[in-house]
Amino acid sequence: MLTFTIRRLILAVPTLLFISLVIFLLLELAPGDPMAQVPLTVPAEVKEKMRLALGLGEPMHIRFWKWLVQFFWIEPQVLIDNIFGTSLAEGQLRVISWQTRSPVMDIVVQRIPQTLWVVGTAYVVAILIALPIGIYSAYRQYSWFDQMGTFVSMVGFSVPPFFSGVLVIVIFSVQLGWFPSIYDTTHVVDSWDAFVYQLKQMIMPVMVLALQITAQLSRFMRASMLDNLNQDYVRTARAKGLSEYVVVMVHVLRNSMIPVVTVIALGIPSIFGGAIITEQVFKVNGIGQLLIGAIQANDLPMVQTLTFIFAVLIVLFNLIADVLYGILDPRIRYD
Amino acid sequence: MTDKERFVPDEGMAPASTAVPAAGQMEELHQPPRSQWLDVWDQFKSHRGALMGGALFLLIILAVYAGPLVWDLEATKIDIRARNQGPSWAHPFGTDQLGRDMLARMMAGGATSVSVGLTAMLLALFLGSFIGVMAGFFKKLDGPLMRLTDLFLALPLLPLLLVMMLLFREPLNAAFGPEQGIFILIVISIGVTSWMPTARIVRGDVLALKEREFVMAARSIGTTNQKLITRHILPNVLSPIMVSATLGIATAIITESSLSFLGLGFPPDFPTWGRLLFDATDYLQQYPERVFWPGMAISLTVLSVNYLGDGLRDALDPRIRGR
């Protein structure tokens, strides 16, 4: 198991390097000019100097190398500085956003809490709803509950978030006026009323995201339970005289959770990156919105860094899912 | 065609008694020989959701492609006097802020969205099947191609799609004109970012098929690799490919609408369902029904395709079929 993990970790390094190169080359082809926003009255030679100041004058491979050094060597040092109060990275050039002229990672750190709050809550809510639905649907296969569950998850698959989001805004904030349609990220929770307001503004985005995730997870849970319910060990457990609750909730559930846990782990990167559209609909200024803004403003270092962070998360959680699978299921041998 | 396809995969598993059926014996059997596709159809018919999904999908295709022949108002005709009208006989879905007929726009938008969905699905399917068959059939290619697949799976797709939209819009617009250019761009970018699941499934099936006796038999009589793939392997991996196809249409339509919704898809005067929805969100408070129609169209199309795929999966799985 350990050798497998180490081998995969080592394999992940070239993969990530290659991905960062792909992203870099793709951005390199960008026709957009970071100087496009500068007024026309600025003379051409000054613009050229500004371009050089952004580091655009050097050849492609040097800029890629610089980005790699900044991201993998200098940024971790900054992190250590912030945690332990040391000054390792003092005076070193960090990845600078062209939009705001401030370090990209600082902005990312500012934006992460909003995304984590909304999308993370949605993920937890979805898991809490999906697992019981999946278990009961499988236990009573083809009952009306199961049919309903199938239909609801089909709808959850099929209704895109930009429609369900707008739809709940129409119903709950335009027609009924219950919840605010825009998520206010400057809101500070310091009293009971403020907490209630926070809850109110979170309900709609969480609902929209949770519907999607629930749809997928409950299908998985159901399929996995169905695979196990007809196994011999279940019959043995029943024949031993164990109560139905113990048979289903202990024997079957523990075995069925194995694939579901890995699916949950695989979905975690989407907490950070996948909610781009939902954030856009509810005007949550999280990571997704940051990316869209950066793309529209031609802020290449920001786009490069954000996309690469998403890639790192995907690779990392793929690895975690594989390792989890091996730990939870003793039949799986990777060696 | 169908008989041949049926005969080949069953060769290895046929019981000894029926190995050499004479023509006379065949007629004495109770049931007439059935083709595989007739069995599939029988199983498919029993899945009510799939039947309804299929019918609905056909209906939607008919409406968006043949609808403009019946309802011949132009989608881009601006009639500023008749702007923001509610539903009436002249405009069943009302008109938008420039007085354009919403029904005509819905049909034009649907034609684009569905075309994008179908073409992107075909491209992804072609890429996925090609890479899957190559990786499964040729051992040397297996490692590199599967690493490539893993690499693509590790790419954050939506951000990359957005970046691609930004980068290649201008050159393609210049080369093919704004509408053709963006169509090609969207189809290609959706196609090259969604072939991976198909490739994985097809590779798995090809790996299993390669060891079967009928492939060995075909090889022993000197069938070339190319013929082996086209005549023996491909017909047998058709069912996973068909299931991926239906799911591919659904993802392609949703991706296209998401791009349009984020303002990085088709240009504003060129309606698609995602674009219509995006434009309508500005008038959300006054005219919520304008959001409803395109959103409903997208959701219904995807829902019908998903149900269709669900039924196909059941119908094409020989373990479920006939039970």
DSSP structure string for B226-267: HHIIIIIIHHHTHHHHHHHHHHHHHHHHHHHHHHHHTT-SS-
Q: Kindly tell me if the per-residue pLDDT of B274 is higher than 90.
A: no
> CA-CA distance, A69 to A58, in Å (whole number)?
15
Position with higher pLDDT, B245 vs A87: B245
For residue B147, is pLDDT > 50? Answer: yes
Between CA A149 and CA A133 the distance in angstroms is 7
Q: How confident is the model at residue B131 (pLDDT cuts 50, 70, 90)?
A: very high
Give residue A18's pLDDT band: very low, low, confident or very high (50, 70, 90): confident
**Alpha-carbon gap, residue B201 to B192, rounded angstroms:** 17
Q: Are A156 and A211 in contact (CB under 8 A)?
A: yes
Q: Do the beta carbons of residue A225 and residue A255 sit within 8 Å?
A: no
Residues near B177 by Cβ (< 8 Å), separated by ≥ 6?
none
- List, in order, residues 6 or more apart from A122 with CB less than 8 Å away: A205, A206, A207, A208, A209, A210, A213, A275
Tell me the DSSP string of A78-106: HHHHHHH---TTTT----B-TTTSSBHHH
Residues in chain A closer than 8 A to B151 (CB atoms)? 15, 18-19
- Give contacts of B306 with chain A, Cβ < 8 Å: 154, 157-158
3-class secondary structure per residue, A142-173: CCHHHHHHHHHHHHHHHCCHHHHHHHHHHHHH
In terms of Cβ atoms closer than 10 Å to its own Cβ (0-12, 13-18, 19+), residue B233 is buried
Q: What is the mean pLDDT of chain A?
A: 82
* pLDDT over 70 percentage in chain A: 93
pLDDT of residue B148: 86
Q: How far is CA A322 from CA A157, A180, A315, B218, in A?
A: 25, 41, 11, 38
Tokens of B249: 């249409």
Question: Do A292 and B162 make contact, defined as CB atoms within 8 angstroms?
Answer: yes
- Region B262-278: what's the mean pLDDT? 80
- Residue A99, token pair as written in the block: 């939009």
* Residue contacts between A and B (CB atoms, under 8 Å): 125
Residues of B whose CB is below 8 A from A310: 156, 159
Res. B20: pLDDT tops 60: no
Which of helix, strand or coil describes residue B101?
strand
- How far apart CA B181 and CA B168 sit, in angstroms, is 9
User: Residue A176: which of A200, A199, A153, A194 has the closest Cα?
Assistant: A200
The pLDDT value given to residue B15: 42
* Contacts B154 to A, Cβ<8 Å: 15, 19, 311, 314-315, 318
Distance CA B96, CA B268 (A): 13
What does each C-alpha distance from A129 to A136, A216, A252, B302 come to in angstroms?
A: 11, 11, 19, 24
Tokens 């290659």 appear where?
A: A18
Tell me how far apart the alpha carbons of residues A319 and B297 are, in angstroms, rounded to a whole number.
39
Cβ pair A295, A254 in contact under 8 A: no
Q: H-helix or E-strand containing A253?
A: helix A253-273
At CB < 8 Å, which residues of chain A contact B? 15, 18-19, 22-23, 26-27, 29-32, 154-155, 157-160, 162-163, 166-167, 169-170, 174-175, 269, 273-274, 276-277, 280, 291-292, 295-296, 298, 303, 306-307, 310-311, 314-315, 318
In this predicted structure, the answer to whether residue A277 has a pLDDT above a threshold of 50 is: yes
> What is the reported pLDDT for A128?
93
Disruptive mutation site among B153, B155, B169, B253 for chain A (greatest number of A CBs within 10 Å): B155
Is residue A125 scored above 90 in pLDDT?
yes
Instruction: Pull the structure tokens for residue A107.
Output: 């902005």
Over residues A143-158, mean pLDDT: 87
Quote ipTM for the complex: 0.77
A145 close to A137: Cβ distance less than 8 angstroms: yes
Distance in angstroms between the alpha carbons of the first and the last residue of chain B: 26
Cβ(B138)–Cβ(B113) under 8 Å? no
